[in-house]
Structure 1
Amino acid sequence: MSVLSAFSLRSQILAFTVALVTATLVAVLVMVLLRSDDAIRDSVNRSVEDASESLSRVIIYRQNQLASSAGVLVSDFGFKQAVATGDAGTVESMLNNHGQRIAADVMFILDLRGQVQVSTSDDIAAGDAFAYSDIVERAVQGREYADFLLLNGHLYQMVLVPLRTPRISAIAGIGFRVRADRIREVLPENNIHVTFISRESDGQKIILSTITDPQEARAAIESPSNLETLLSLPFSEPEPYLTRRILAGDLLSHNMDVMISDDLSGFYQSYEQIRNQILLLAAVFILMAVFGSSLIARRLTRPLAQLANATRGFASGNFGLSSVIRSTNREVSRLLKAFALMSEELNEREEKIIYQATHDSLTGALNRDAVTHLIENMVQQNTAFLLIGVQISGLKSINENFGIETGDRYLQTFADRLRDNSNQDYLARQSADEFAMIIPTADDCSESARDMIVNAITGRLSQPMQIEGIGFNPDFYTAVLSYPEQAGDARQVWRRFSIALEHAITHNQRFYIYEDGLDQEHIRKTRILHDLKATLADNRGQLRLYYQPKLDLSTGKITKAEALIRWIHPELGFIPPDYFIALAEQTRLIKSLTRWVFQQVLKDQEVFSENRIKLQLSVNISASDLVDDELKQHIQAMMDIYNFQPQMICLEITERDMMTDVDRSISLLNHYRHSGFKISVDDYGIGYSALSKLSILPVDELKIDKSFVLNLDTREQDQVIVKSTIAMAHELGMQVVAEGVENSQTLDWLGTHGCDLAQGYFISKALPVSEFISWFHSQQQADSWISHSV
């Protein structure tokens, strides 16, 4: 819910209008203030610059005046003669006369040691030592010097020049005393002030300022040299002055600065006056906007409020307009007609939405949510019923071969047949190829009555179909669950129904009635898969590999062994390999399981090698492994880690798995074979493979299924099959392994008829690695492998 929806339309109109006007005025205000700020700031900066230039010119003019007068004085022959003869009276008289002509405040003569010989001012008396020895040194060297100097606490602009007679024999000084009132006279504006400061080690010291208040003067010299803006934050003090240092030639060498400051109070007043006028004008406009928008919003929202009251029944599903709106407004009349039309369309649309929300658009059957709700209601009412599930087999093939439209017509025809045996409201389509049908029954419905109902449905479904001239023989799986006999609540109904249909599909049973305990088996399978996944991630010794040896019948030696996995569950105990491997093959866990086995075989191969046992180890891989490109990469990675010889590993693939996708199998088997691995066809004889396909497979070994070997010593039919298989395999260049050897007679028969290798309990059962090593070494010490076998 947006923030605006919490307010009435009248409030929104008022708020929007006021906000728009306010935003516009603020934008104008900001623009004007910024422009004013720029103009005033530029004026301030320009005023300071003009004052700085004017004062600098005055200082330089006075300096030049002093220098010129000093030059005239030291060039006067009579003056030089009086200084040379030491006539102090004449010198003093000439100094006074010369000083009066240019209105100098001080004139004096220094000897070359800096002692004052004659002076016209009390600030530097005869006999005193001149305070600036560095200036004396420069003058003695013949250089003229000009600077602002402090004499007896008073500031003077002075020039000192050497007196040559013809050698430098004295130093003449002439200066103007710097007074605040005189500086005030040359400044262009009253708001401009000048301050002379000296740079001391403990900070800046004010020597002279046109600002009479010492604190104001201090504030002035500490102000910035450039004014960035006249704007200031609320409750903050603006800068009082704009102050700059005047650079006037070489006049500022003795740690002294001349600062010019502009008093900004007048500018701030001008700026604030403009700002206040604009703010007042903005407030007037805002008040006008509030008043005007309030009137407009009231006239607009009053009929809308009446219409809202009239249509309040829409929320409860009543789409009629029962209230009379007191208005002759043409726009409102149009709105009323539109609402009336809308109410009719809403009725139709609501019915359509409800139907679409609860039904499948293709077949018209209920969807899963609707049938779930229906079952929950029937369970709550304790109504007995049969829940029948039908899964169509081959729908994907129909879509691929005859097109989606034919597949849709097939589904519609199938649904119509189901509907013939059920109420329209009790048929549901659960997924693309799966239907569920509810058949209400009597509380005491017998098994025979149930079977009659189901047989009628399946019989009708089994009849051939004709769709667009194409004949189809429907193929499907059926599962049945009876409530309340086989489930106690709605959740249990769905779980057990799903398990029953899944059982029918996975066990290829065309018709299956739920049996007690099936859900416990499903829960057990789910747990085993969960625990297997956890075990593969963190084994902790639960999964182990056992090895069953293979006897070379030509040499009587053990040359190979098959790796067989065992799982000892901490709670469930021993879990048969065929059981959990079959479950793993139904999920992606088979890939992880194969990788674990392969890696463990390589580790065990290293253990065998350390115990002087060299065997070719066989690893079983599944159909999904056979077409798994990632397995190739995993095996290659293991080869790099363990550095094993590929020919010491034999990959066993069942005949059935190998024939699932022959072309893909040949491609991957060639890859493994070229990498050096040996390939064996496991369980040969039960997969019904064509000899033409077998002949092109890259296979090194053929392993005869134990069903042909267990009774080989007594059954002639098995002997014929095994003998022909041995001959055929040898013709194709393959070795033959017979598994399931249980007695010496079978072993002797196999050796006599050219079988290459034998495997079975007569030779040895599968053993863990440590026991296999002990067994192997014990057999090495025996005269015959066979006579001492377990």
Structure 2
Amino acid sequence: MTNSLKNRITILCVGLVLLTTLVSLFSFLWSTSKFQEEKVNQDINVAQSVYKQYLKSKESLLLTAAKVLTSDFGFKQAVATRDAGTISSVLFNHSQRIDADLMLLINLSGQLISANTSEDDFEHDLKPLMKELLNAPEQSSFVVLNKELYQVILLPVKAPRTVAYSLVGFKIDDSVASELKSLTGMDVSFIGRADDLVISSLIKRPAQFDPVNYFNTATISRFFGEYQVYRNLDIELTSLVTHPIIILLSADLTQGYSDFEKLLFTLLILAILTMFVGVITSSLLANNLTTPLSQLAVIARQFAQGNYSFEFKGEKQSTEIATLAEAFSSMGNDINQREQQINFQARHDSLTGFYNRSAMLEVLDDELKDNVEYTLVAIDIKGLRHINDKLGPRIGDDCLKAVACRIAEFSDELGGFHARIGGDEFLTVFPTAAARELKSGVVGLIAQLQSCYTIQKLKISLRFSAGILQYPSQGTMSDDLMRRVLIAVDSAANKNESIHYYQIGEDEAHLDRLIMLDELKQAISDDDGQLFMTYQPKLHIKTQKIDKVESLIRWQRKDGSWVNPEVFIDLAEQSGLIVELTAWVVNTVVAQVADWQLKGINLQAAINVSAQDIAFPGFHSALVRTLKKYKVDPKLITIELTERDMIENEEKGIKALENLKEIGVKISLDDYGVGQTSLGRLKMLPIDELKLDKCFILKLDESQKDQFIVQSSITLGHQLGFSVVAEGVETLGSLNLLKDMQCDHAQGYYLSRPLKAEQLEEWLNDYYAKN
């Protein structure tokens, strides 16, 4: 079987041996290849140095010979007098002494005067050659004369001024190339393409011999394919610009390939032997391991069936196998204990030991009997987060344990059961009749929970909200029971009640709120006209002009029904959707103000915002971006905030409002007079406007007490530097009283109800036409 452990161990061992061998082989071959390459490069560098030294010595000899010749007095006198016989004799004798192949005498015009060989072998006009050689005085150059390559040097003959030039040179031929090959160990080729010159140390040459092509393309067939025979390096020699000469050094790689292949075959033989030994040893090792392991597999199958007391039997085994068998035995006991512990933890809260939420749903289905009435009580601890923040999470955990203990004391005696269904929420279920007889019912439970707690020597009082549900009259399915009792406890918390009894229809109302919330999200994202803004004008009482409006949002659902703004705004605040809703309002109102400006209508628009909006970090930057987008002056926007919002987020709110004032936005305190703003706090708020609540304005002309309150509020506002707006003006008498009290602005149905933008524009035209 290819999947057996024995075969796997054999394959693993052989694989490891093979992998190690291959890695070692390739590593060795790679390093050998790199070494060979570096050696060839080093040999080429050495050859380059040798050839340079060889040519340098020739150059030195040429320079010395040329200086001796041009310094000879008799030779200079013969040159000066144009004694041809003496010149020819001197050149010949001097060339014999230094074994020079070339000695020429050239006049100042570049004409050949005399040579150590037949003058007819050379061009008589050597002026171009002479001009280029004079650019490198006392330096040798390689030139082609009479289709032969020479290393030459040109020196002037002075008597005492320059009367001629002496050209001395050594001939470069195949023997020189062969000599360089014997010194460097590489083939040497001198190439002059402009003169079709080829001098090479290669003995066996093809009929059409091009050294560059030959040495660069020559290949040899080896065991692993075709390889290049030579590694080449071409070097430019000092030569004439129009007749360049290069030297090509070619290293023969054949011997390196042969040595490399011998080494490779040796390593392969060693690898095969290693593999053979690995297969044998791994088979023996696998056999010794798998026999006892197959017996242990039987134990494992017994464990899978829940039998943890199986005893290992067999022949005497190694210490490791015996230890493993003992470990299996103890593992069975540990697994048995751990299974029971895991099952408990999967169904219970680790802190209190109560059922968790999912387990409680199962318990409700299993334990509740149709012929018995049960009371379900969901309990929420108020302010536990503040205890965690101020006293630390350990105190908070101890509070949860203490509450759980009191719930258990109350409910266990009645035969009830309980669960922790949230961070600070519990659910206890007990027979209604027994609780009424023995424990004074739910009232007794809440009284017991609200008694003072002693936590780590601290006296702590906790407040609770409780939601009550009756089984089976108000539900029988566990999901329905859980949802409805949580609705009840949420209602208790929202209404600030200690106890709230679930009422028939609250579940449906909850579902309606969820549907409404989903529709509100869709209305914001689609912007299909369900949501729209209306604007209620504000009268500047002194000038009798309309210079401000309050922006009020409205929602008409797709089915045509209207939703009260207080309902859906409250829903948005509870769900956290208020930030998106306010962003929509801000964008819509700022765009409308910009449109009015284009029409020549200058109105300052007030926008109502919530505490969540002010606390949201992106509110300020979003407002700035919107104002820049529509090119609206920030002074045309007023942010209205209620007293409640200011009190709940005072420190953060004040900072946020100060940032808004810095960019020029106006701040208005809405519903002033009905909240809890003290005079000390009022002077600290960074506001520009007080907006008197309409409860003081609606019957202002009928109530002297309202008149006293409004008059004092207007006076106070002016003394603090605020402008004052009265909302809820519904009669001319109230408006006249506000004028006498020097109120700044009035707003109300006496002037106009909230209007859409187009209707407001028409209303403004009518208003100014009448006034």
Question: Aligned runs of 1:265-304 on 2, under 5 Å?
Answer: 265-281=254-270, 283-285=272-274, 287-289=276-278, 291-296=280-285, 298-300=287-289, 302-304=291-293
What residue in structure 1 maps to residue 193 of structure 2?
199
Give 1:677 shift: 3.6
Q: 1:20 to 1:297 in 2, by over 3 A?
A: farther
Letter paired with 2:572: A
Pick aligned residue for 1:521 from 490, 512, 523? 512
What residue in structure 2 maps to residue 729 of structure 1?
713
- Alignment deviations for residues 525-550 of structure 1 (CA, whole Å, 9 cap, x no partner): 22233134315xx4758422221445
Greater CA deviation, 129-138 or 572-581? Answer: 129-138
Letter paired with 1:200: A
Letter paired with 1:620: N
Pick aligned residue for 1:765 from 736, 746, 753? 753
- Alignment deviations for residues 69-115 of structure 1 (CA, whole Å, 9 cap, x no partner): 9999x9699999999699xxxx99x9999999999999999999989
Pick aligned residue for 1:368 from 349, 357, 362? 357
Give 1:359 shift: 0.9
What residue in structure 1 maps to residue 334 of structure 2?
345
- Aligned equivalents of 2:62 and 2:667: distance in 1? 112
| SS of corresponding position for 1:200 | helix
Q: 1:452 to 1:60 in 2, by over 3 A?
A: same
- Alignment deviations for residues 711-744 of structure 1 (CA, whole Å, 9 cap, x no partner): 778xxxx825423423442453468766545556
Does the CA contact (< 8 Å) of 2:538 and 2:745 recur in 1? no
State yes or no: 1:433 paired with 2:424.
yes
- Alignment deviations for residues 742-790 of structure 1 (CA, whole Å, 9 cap, x no partner): 556776787899988654434432222333333344344447xxxxxxx
Letter paired with 2:569: I
- Aligned equivalents of 1:79 and 1:712: distance in 2? 138
Does the CA contact (< 8 Å) of 1:362 and 1:412 recur in 2? no
- Aligned equivalents of 2:597 and 2:184: distance in 1? 107
Does the CA contact (< 8 Å) of 2:697 and 2:726 recur in 1? yes
- Aligned equivalents of 2:248 and 2:730: distance in 1? 118
Does the CA contact (< 8 Å) of 2:351 and 2:397 recur in 1? no
Letter paired with 2:423: A
What residue in structure 2 maps to residue 15 of structure 1?
15
State yes or no: 1:358 paired with 2:342.
no
Letter paired with 1:388: L
Q: 1:242 to 1:683 in 2, by over 3 A?
A: closer
Pick aligned residue for 1:416 from 374, 398, 408? 408
- Aligned equivalents of 1:66 and 1:531: distance in 2? 103
Give 1:478 shift: 0.9
Question: Aligned runs of 1:59-458 on 2, under 5 Å?
Answer: 130-131=122-123, 133-134=125-126, 180=174, 184=178, 188=182, 192-200=186-194, 205-207=197-199, 209-214=201-206, 218=210, 223=215, 235-242=225-232, 255-257=244-246, 259=248, 261-281=250-270, 283-285=272-274, 287-289=276-278, 291-296=280-285, 298-300=287-289, 302-372=291-361, 388=376, 390-396=378-384, 403-404=395-396, 406-417=398-409, 419-420=411-412, 427-437=418-428, 458=442
What residue in structure 2 maps to residue 461 of structure 1?
445
- Alignment deviations for residues 493-523 of structure 1 (CA, whole Å, 9 cap, x no partner): 6656655543443345622245263344133
| SS of corresponding position for 2:426 | strand
Q: 1:95 to 1:631 in 2, by over 3 A?
A: closer
Letter paired with 2:493: I
State yes or no: 1:580 paired with 2:568.
yes
Letter paired with 1:352: Q
| SS of corresponding position for 1:563 | strand
Letter paired with 1:525: M
What residue in structure 2 maps to residue 512 of structure 1?
502
| SS of corresponding position for 2:351 | coil
Letter paired with 1:478: G
Give 1:638 shift: 6.8
What residue in structure 2 maps to residue 444 of structure 1?
none
Does the CA contact (< 8 Å) of 2:530 and 2:558 recur in 1? no
Q: 1:38 to 1:321 in 2, by over 3 A?
A: farther
- Aligned equivalents of 1:650 and 1:169: distance in 2? 106
- Aligned equivalents of 1:632 and 1:163: distance in 2? 95
What residue in structure 1 maps to residue 550 of structure 2?
562
What residue in structure 2 maps to residue 787 of structure 1?
none
- Aligned equivalents of 2:80 and 2:745: distance in 1? 139
Does the CA contact (< 8 Å) of 2:730 and 2:748 recur in 1? yes
Give 1:322 shift: 4.2
Letter paired with 1:463: A
Does the CA contact (< 8 Å) of 2:352 and 2:401 recur in 1? no
- Aligned equivalents of 2:614 and 2:231: distance in 1? 89
Q: 1:246 to 1:630 in 2, by over 3 A?
A: closer
| SS of corresponding position for 1:334 | helix
- Alignment deviations for residues 122-177 of structure 1 (CA, whole Å, 9 cap, x no partner): xx7x9x674474279859x9999998887887778899999999999999999998
Greater CA deviation, 580-589 or 489-498? Answer: 489-498
Greater CA deviation, 342-351 or 629-638? Answer: 629-638
- Aligned equivalents of 1:401 and 1:109: distance in 2? 111
Give 1:430 shift: 1.4
Identity of paired residues, percent? 24
- Alignment deviations for residues 179-238 of structure 1 (CA, whole Å, 9 cap, x no partner): 64686578537964443432228xx653555422227964567658xxxxx9x9964513
The normalised TM-score by structure 1 is 0.71
- Aligned equivalents of 1:614 and 1:118: distance in 2? 110
Q: 1:185 to 1:405 in 2, by over 3 A?
A: closer
Give 1:361 shift: 1.3
The normalised TM-score by structure 2 is 0.72
- Aligned equivalents of 2:257 and 2:741: distance in 1? 120
Q: 1:366 to 1:153 in 2, by over 3 A?
A: same
Aligned residues: 739
- Aligned equivalents of 1:739 and 1:163: distance in 2? 120
Letter paired with 1:15: G
| SS of corresponding position for 2:227 | coil
Letter paired with 1:337: E
- Aligned equivalents of 1:32 and 1:416: distance in 2? 81
Give 1:415 shift: 3.6
Unaligned runs of 5+ in 1: 225-229, 441-447, 784-790
Give 1:367 shift: 1.6
State yes or no: 1:546 paired with 2:535.
yes
State yes or no: 1:530 paired with 2:521.
yes
Give 1:416 shift: 0.7
| SS of corresponding position for 1:766 | coil
Does the CA contact (< 8 Å) of 1:544 and 1:565 recur in 2? yes
| SS of corresponding position for 2:749 | coil
| SS of corresponding position for 2:521 | helix
Give 1:360 shift: 0.2
- Alignment deviations for residues 447-485 of structure 1 (CA, whole Å, 9 cap, x no partner): x98997999752342233453395857622215376797
Letter paired with 1:407: C
- Aligned equivalents of 2:179 and 2:460: distance in 1? 121
Unaligned runs of 5+ in 2: none
- Alignment deviations for residues 399-442 of structure 1 (CA, whole Å, 9 cap, x no partner): 56773255133332244156427767x532111121245679xx
- Alignment deviations for residues 222-280 of structure 1 (CA, whole Å, 9 cap, x no partner): 658xxxxx9x9964513425556595x87999544555544342344345444544554
| SS of corresponding position for 2:198 | strand
